[in-house]
A = this chain, B = another copy of it.
Amino acid sequence: MTQTPSSATDRITRALADLDQFGQRNAWIHVAEHSELMQAATQVDAAVADGEDLPLAGMVIAVKDNIDVAGMPTTCASPGASYTPDQDATSVQLLRAAGAVILGKTNMDQFATGLVGVRSPYGIPVSVLDPELVSGGSSSGSAVAVAQGIVDAALGTDTAGSGRVPAAFNAIVGIKPTLGLVSTSGVVPASPSYDAVTVFAADLSTAELVLAQIAHPDPADPRSRRWDSRAPLAAPAAPVYGVPTSQALEPMSASWRSAFESSVAALTDAGMRVVEVDITPLLGAAKLLYDGALIAERTAAFGTLLDREPHTVDPTVAGIVRTGEGKSAVELANNQFELARVRALLGEVWSEIDALILPTAPGHPSVAEVRADPVAVNSWVGTYTNFVNLLDLSAMAVPGIAPVGVTLIGPAFADRALLDLALHVQHVCTGRPSSSGGATGHPSTWLPENASIAVFG
């Protein structure tokens, strides 16, 4: 749990001291100037002294380097593509309005293309659990900065697992909200129909508090959505969990598979209702991301960069993006029809279970393994995450029984119910507290309530 700091200035002073002591570990691309940070913190403290209610006062937050922070360069881990925005992304603006201080911008797989965290010219931010192992990506630096305790929370982005895999590989939590709940205005697009802004934190209550500030309709984002007023605001008293069949776990490494099976056993031992679900259609949808034409969205979002400045793009990333150039519009349309079909199939699944519990990744590769086969290992890492945004699902990654990370998955707008379920699952697997709130000094907040009183329109 995050400790409530005495003041924003104390907290930022501690964050800077921690950075000095523990090092940046390749997690950072840009850290704000000391004087600017102290000025921002002083303003927060003054506002609090004036009686302003700032839910994030005293919190220091990191921002992935594909999300604009005014006055700091946005590089997407490509120095050649760097620009310095004069306006915050909507999500960052909301964080600041709620009293957070932004420490800086974090490292990432270039252009958010990757799930491993090694595709960056700014170095490899390895896992805090084992320096031989990757941190996961693409939100590598954000997860590491949170896991180190330098910051209280960090923003990431997630198209195919970038906000969940790094949480699993650093034993923290990662919330991948329903598409459109958090504005992507001011975020460099990866695959715009499927991009989400995510929150990393050491615990769910902190992540929830941060998410509640930034989940807000935004006219500047064409894909912004309002909270569905029919969505459940809590989990049912006797939830039913769906788990994959044994066959669907075959891609897993031995240690992660064993830990996942132990996690599921712990749930049934704790009296929770667990039913097997055939996730074959989901894994099939995931394959469209690499084998189909959906990659063309990423190619389109790249625009002419590959032709104009090929030297600025990592060769692995360039290779992936180039594959979209040869795809036909008819194949893309057919892939989109197929996603709609699987989405409809899932409707029946959600009538039988409250959440699907999957391993967040099939295993945790080393840096050496990724280097030996960068595309195939990356693809393997995304086995259980790739399909989530394609199918408009909500997801929450939490630690399971070590070393596995587990993700709870629900339909769009199940976010609030998933939080209850994630607290439960995490409690059973790790002994962490099973209720949220309290530690930050603010009552537990959530989207609908917050949306109606937020300061930003």
Q: Which A residues fall within an 8 A CB radius of B?
A: 192-193, 219-223, 226, 229-230, 293, 296-297, 299-301, 324-325, 327-334, 336-337, 340-341, 343-344, 347-348
Known contacts A192-B340, A325-B328, A327-B329; 10 additional CB pairs below 8 A are A221-B344, A222-B344, A296-B330, A299-B329, A300-B333, A324-B330, A327-B330, A329-B329, A329-B331, A332-B332
B contact residues around A343 at 8 Å (CB)? 222
Give the 7 A-B residue pairs with the shortest CB-CB distance, closest first: A296-B329, A222-B344, A327-B329, A300-B333, A222-B340, A329-B332, A293-B329
With A226-B230, A328-B327 as known contacts, state yes or no: A300 contacts B334, CB within 8 Å: yes
**Mind listing 30 A-B residue pairs with CB under 8 Å?**
A192-B340, A193-B336, A219-B344, A219-B347, A219-B348, A220-B344, A221-B344, A222-B340, A226-B230, A229-B229, A229-B230, A293-B329, A296-B328, A296-B330, A296-B332, A299-B329, A299-B333, A300-B330, A300-B334, A300-B337, A301-B333, A324-B329, A324-B330, A325-B330, A327-B328, A327-B330, A328-B329, A329-B329, A329-B332, A332-B333
> What is the distance, in angstroms, from A281's C-beta to the closest C-beta of chain B?
12
Please give the count of copies of this chain that the complex contains.
2
Nearest residue, chain B, Cβ from A347: B219
A343 to B329, CA, bound (A): 22
A453 to B330, CA, bound (A): 40
| Contact across chains for B300 and A340 when beta carbons are under 8 A apart | no
A290 to B325, CA, bound (A): 22
| Contact across chains for A333 and B222 when beta carbons are under 8 A apart | no
Pick the residue among B226, B299, B340, B344 that contacts A330 (CB under 8 A).
B299
A325 to B330, CA, bound (A): 7
A334 to B337, CA, bound (A): 18
A221 to B345, CA, bound (A): 10
A331 to B300, CA, bound (A): 7
A221 to B337, CA, bound (A): 12
B contact residues around A193 at 8 Å (CB)? 336
B contact residues around A341 at 8 Å (CB)? 222
| Contact across chains for A333 and B296 when beta carbons are under 8 A apart | yes
With A229-B229, A229-B230, A328-B327 as known contacts, state yes or no: A297 contacts B333, CB within 8 Å: yes
B contact residues around A344 at 8 Å (CB)? 219-222
B contact residues around A299 at 8 Å (CB)? 329-330, 333
B contact residues around A220 at 8 Å (CB)? 344
B contact residues around A223 at 8 Å (CB)? 340
A350 to B93, CA, bound (A): 26
A301 to B333, CA, bound (A): 9
A192 to B221, CA, bound (A): 24
A219 to B349, CA, bound (A): 12
A138 to B222, CA, bound (A): 31
Nearest residue, chain B, Cβ from A218: B344
B contact residues around A229 at 8 Å (CB)? 229-230
A2 to B343, CA, bound (A): 41
A257 to B9, CA, bound (A): 67
> What is the distance, in angstroms, from A388's C-beta to the closest C-beta of chain B?
17
Nearest residue, chain B, Cβ from A331: B329
Interface centre among A219, A300, A330, A343 (most CB of B within 10 A): A330
